[in-house]
Amino acid sequence: MRVRVCLFAWLREAVGRPELEIEISDQATPEDVWRRLASDYPALAERRRSLAAAVNRSYAAFDTPLAAGDEVAFIPPVSGG
């Protein structure tokens, strides 16, 4: 199945684009999508612990089942003041 992946901040910089579509196995989760990204872009691999995931614009656990056409976003921590 195909899912759309949205990337922000340093993730976008590392990948070189704000979003992409990937083919992933049926019954995949955001964790599976992350592993695919980390495989394709090894510089991302060690940053997983600091991320939140969202599915279709709602925060979601990394083990949330995905469906074809879902939008998956990985959100890095935000700081400000």
pTM of the predicted protein model? 0.90
Spatial strand order in the sheet of 52-55: 19-23, 2-7, 71-75, 52-55, 58-60
Residue 76's nearest CA partner among 16, 29, 11, 17 is 11
User: DSSP assignment of 41-54, as one string?
Assistant: SGGGGGGGGG-EEE
Query: pLDDT tens per residue, the chain (81 residues)?
Result: 999 999 998 899 989 999 999 999 999 999 999 999 999 999 888 878 889 999 999 999 999 999 999 999 999 887 655
Domains of the chain: 2-75 (3.10.20.30)
User: What ranges in the chain are assigned the alpha helix state H?
Assistant: 9-15, 30-40
